[in-house]
Chains A and B, each alone.
Chain A
Amino acid sequence: MKLAFFQRLSQLCSVLLYNAYLAGFVTGSIYQGPFKMIPCPGFNCHSCPGALFLCPVGALQFFSAYGRYYLSLYVLGFITLLGAAGGRFICGWACPFGFLQDMLNKLPVKKFRIPRRLEYLRYVILAGVVCIAAAVFKEPWFCKIICPAGTLEAGIPLLLHNEHLRQMIGPVFIVKLGVLFGFLAWMAVAKRPFCRVVCPLGALYGLCNRLSFLKMGFDKKACVYDGACAPVCPVDHRMYRDDPNAPRCIRCLRCRSVCDPGAIHVAVGQSSDPPRVSR
């Protein structure tokens, strides 16, 4: 499968690009150059020793807590710009955490489905934790308790390097470590649980799916309903049953690559009518 190879390559390149400050991994320091003004398109902690870019979720929270007007226009504008272009395209092709989840899900262990209702939780986390709780309590609760990327990419490498930081470890770190291992275990047994249930960045991109220039389409007359697209979808989206442009779809295009009758297609450009679900 050619497309699957290019998708993995793109994901791997995003990991390397977002964390290209390799000196940080050697010295245990973080990058302090001008790229840190630019939000990262994917989910990547900016306190990772290699991180070049700003974490958009951390930045939104920081601004909600300490900014002049609660919501950062700069970060929201950046995310909306990418969302307007491709919706959740970034989630499927250029997110390091998505890549990690895809890789862990390849482990040969029993798999479980994620209930669809649980997917609404990401909006609760986006609005409730990232925006409202940060503004009310002046604390970045998402980074502090929930975010497994911070523990994995920043916490563990920096603590391994810095004796001073190790002395400051307290119960919060133990909780975060538990959350991280909980997520890692969940990633092994379910498809992209973090993207579907928790990720506030994916929630924002997903809101743009129906309005973006890149759109998915489904032709019910061409579909033979053989279910070939179902097992390859990393988020359990069903093109033949659900809205092709639903916020769940991460536009990895895996379904399109295995659809021999060509019932699933990609369209670029704005449509004059809202996308319809063909049944």
Chain B
Amino acid sequence: MRFFKRHASIALLAAAVLMLAGGLAAGEHTMFFTYAIVICLNCIGIG
């Protein structure tokens, strides 16, 4: 626990990199791509 407190910034950075890598490995970015290239009717307010 003390180790994590001392190196909290590095732990957070490592967690971020792991999450990002996990998301990329799962192909989330392609899922978001298909979502973001069509006009979001909810954003406009007519969905």
Contacts and interface: CB of A to CB of B under 8 A. Distances in A.
Given A47-B44, A173-B44, A73 B22 contact: yes
Interface of B: 5-13, 15-24, 26, 28-33, 35-47
A270 B23 contact: no
Interface residues of A, number: 61
Contacts of A84: 9, 12-13, 16
A209 B16 CA distance: 14
Nearest to A59: B32
Contacts of B9: 84, 211-213, 269-271
B14 to A, nearest CB: 9
A76 interface: yes
Contact of A68 (B16, B26, B29): B26
Nearest to B30: A37
B30 A155 contact: no
Interface of A: 30-32, 34, 36-39, 45-47, 54-55, 58-59, 62-63, 67-68, 72-78, 80-81, 83-85, 140, 143-144, 147, 150-151, 154-155, 158-159, 165, 168-170, 172-173, 175-177, 208, 210-213, 269-274
B46 A168 contact: yes
A187 B17 CA distance: 35
Given A46-B36, A81-B16, A72 B28 contact: yes
A59 to B, nearest CB: 5
A5 B39 CA distance: 35
Contacts of A31: 37
A158 B32 contact: no
A47 B46 contact: no
A150 B33 contact: no
A60 to B, nearest CB: 10
Contact of A47 (B5, B19, B23, B43): B43
B45 A155 contact: yes
B8 A270 contact: yes
B18 A47 contact: no
A77 B18 contact: yes
A212 B12 CA distance: 8
Contact of B36 (A54, A63, A213): A54
The 7 closest A-B pairs by CB, nearest first: A74-B23, A77-B20, A77-B19, A150-B43, A80-B16, A73-B23, A176-B45
Given A47-B39, A84-B16, A210-B8, 13 more contacts: A36-B32, A36-B33, A47-B44, A59-B32, A62-B32, A73-B23, A75-B32, A81-B20, A83-B12, A84-B9, A140-B42, A173-B44, A173-B46
